[in-house]
Amino acid sequence: MAATNILRSRRTRRRAGWTAVLALLALILPYMLVNSPQFAVFGNTIPLSIDVLSYAVVAGLAVLSLVVLVGHGGQLSLTAGFFMGVGAYLTMILSNETALPFALCVVAAALVCGLLGIAVGLPALRIEGAYLALVTITLASVLPSLVRLPVISGHTGGSNGLSLKYTPSAPDFIGQVPTWLGHLPGIGPSYIGTYALGPAQAASVWIFYLVLAATLAVFWLVAGVVRGRTGRAVHAVRDHGIGAAASGVHVARLKVMVFGLSGLVAGVAGGLYALVFRIVAPETFGLTLAIYLLFGMILGGHRALGGAVAGGFAVAYLPVITGQIKHIPAVPDRWLVGPTASFLLGLLLILFPLVLPGGVAGLGRRLGFLRPLGTGRTDAPAASGGRATPPEPGTAQTPARTAEPDTAPTTSARANAMSPNRRETRS
């Protein structure tokens, strides 16, 4: 008992430490990136702008929507890009064409996306596994042609896309950079005295904090759902639908609810996307984004809520970085043309499951950094493939936890979880 208490306090301290580090980064990073410093490696200059940082947070939210649907709900789908696109378009249209405050537009768009999620979830009740993946890949590539439909292109701008008229006005304190920050790289002249940002830069920083606050709120909401009673029922449905139904869980209602929640979260991400980039174009929300988001989900570990943040950073930064690579040692420059970025990303997608099966969160867990967020302690080891389950408190205090059987052949249990009613008979 005493050992448990010591451990719990150690774990709490470690979490508090990480929270403090992240909060400090959130305070400093926007000011470091506000002047779009460039980062040079092997003769490539990669711009690091604050917009991409904000987008990383937004993309984390979109990845979270997949974590809820695929990781926890067990519904293998590619829907996040579609709902994100719908959220972005609806938010822009509402904000441009009505007098509603922007936050309300985001909420309204997200609610519509939640309802759409439910609408997608209803037929999905009867469609499972590979069928669902194939149907949703159609959904993922449909939005670019949908917004060009003549009936609605007056609102959506058709092929030209839309731009947001609303600009948030940053409060004064945002533009005041504390003088000690002036010594950090990227911020600008490091003289002692006051250093004030221009209005556009202050707005970018302010947008980052708005996005961050909204994202944290949604994460908190989702964590509440996933870790609570509903979350346990969702896991039961994922792991064994028939068993869950026999235990009195309303399977259909829960599955539809998970789709709705996933749509809602992706809708918020879309609204925030509109705020960050202020422009939406049809091609943004096509198949490629859907694939990136799925990659982000697996990168973060497909059930880890915290891993979604890492996944979001990958979704936002990888295209920026691979898009700017003009020189690779030992590779002729003439090979590095436009599609190279896409090629490198594809290669990464192929290599990633080979090299790092548990995702970044799995790596962190292997090294003992992260508590498996969201899986909670309610999962039986069999349900999470013996990989995502936190060690029992008694065993965790020994260094043996780093030797978790990470490559043990336990994937079949997880695979069953991915498609609960896998067909036993195939002709």
Contacting positions for another protein (CB under 8 A): 70, 76, 123, 126-131, 133-135, 137-139, 141-142, 145-146, 148-151, 241-243, 246, 287-288, 291, 294-295, 298, 302, 335, 337-343, 345-354, 357, 409, 411-412, 414-416, 418-419, 421-427
| Residue 169, number of CB atoms within 10 A of its CB | 10
- For another protein, give the closer residue by CB, 51 or 404: 404
Cβ proximity to another protein, 72 vs 414, nearer residue: 414
Six token digits for residue 3: 């050992």
**Per-position DSSP letters for 131-171, written without gaps between them:** HHHHHHHHHHTTHHHHTT-HHHHHHH-GGG-EE----PPPP
What radius of gyration, in Å, describes the C-alpha atoms of the chain? 22
Minimum CB separation of residue 90 from another protein in Å reads 18
**Which residue's CB is nearer to another protein, number 129 or number 182?**
129
Q: How many CA atoms lie within 13 A of 53 on its CB side?
A: 25
Q: How far is the CB of 310 from another protein (least distance, A)?
A: 16
Q: What is the nearest approach in angstroms of another protein to the Cβ of residue 104?
A: 30
Q: CB count, 10 Å around CB of 359?
A: 26
Q: How far is CA 116 from CA 90, 111, 375, 410, in A?
A: 12, 9, 27, 36
Nearer to another protein, 129 or 368 (CB): 129
Q: In angstroms, what is the minimal distance from the CB of 141 to another protein?
A: 6
Main-chain dihedrals φ then ψ at residue 47, nearest 5 degrees:
-75, 135
Cβ within 8 Å of residue 46, ≥6 positions away: 38, 39, 40, 320, 321, 324
Q: Are 383 and 423 a contacting pair, CB within 8 Å?
A: no
d(CA 221, CA 230): 12
What is the distance between the alpha carbons of residues 13 and 413, in angstroms, rounded to a whole number?
Answer: 33
What's the token pair of residue 383?
A: 């349900």
Residue (204 or 419) nearer to another protein, CB: 419
**Distance between first and last Cα of the chain:** 55
CB of 339 to another protein, least distance (A): 4
Kindly state the smallest distance separating residue 161's Cβ from another protein, in Å: 16
Q: State how far Cα 253 lies from the chain centre.
A: 25
For another protein, the closer CB: 49 or 288? 288
Q: Quick one: how far is CA 188 from the chain centroid? A: 31
Query: Which C-beta is closer to another protein: that of 185 or that of 338?
Result: 338
Locate the DSSP E strands across 148-277: 162-163, 176-177, 195-196
Helix (H) or strand (E) holding 230: helix 229-239
Shortest Å distance, C-beta 211 to another protein: 27
Residues in the chain: 427
CA dist 375 → 168, 244, 300, 383, 389 (Å): 37, 18, 13, 10, 7
Least CB distance to another protein at residue 70 (A): 8
| Min dist. Cβ of residue 408 to another protein (A) | 12
Nearer to another protein, 24 or 130 (CB): 130
For another protein, the closer of residues 141 and 378 by Cβ is 141
Q: How far is the CB of 73 from another protein (least distance, A)?
A: 13
Give the Cα separation of 6 and 12 in Å (integer): 10
Residue closer to another protein, measured from CB, 303 or 365? 303
Tell me the closest approach of the beta carbon of residue 144 to another protein, in angstroms. Answer: 8
Residue number, 114 or 286, with CB nearest to another protein:
286
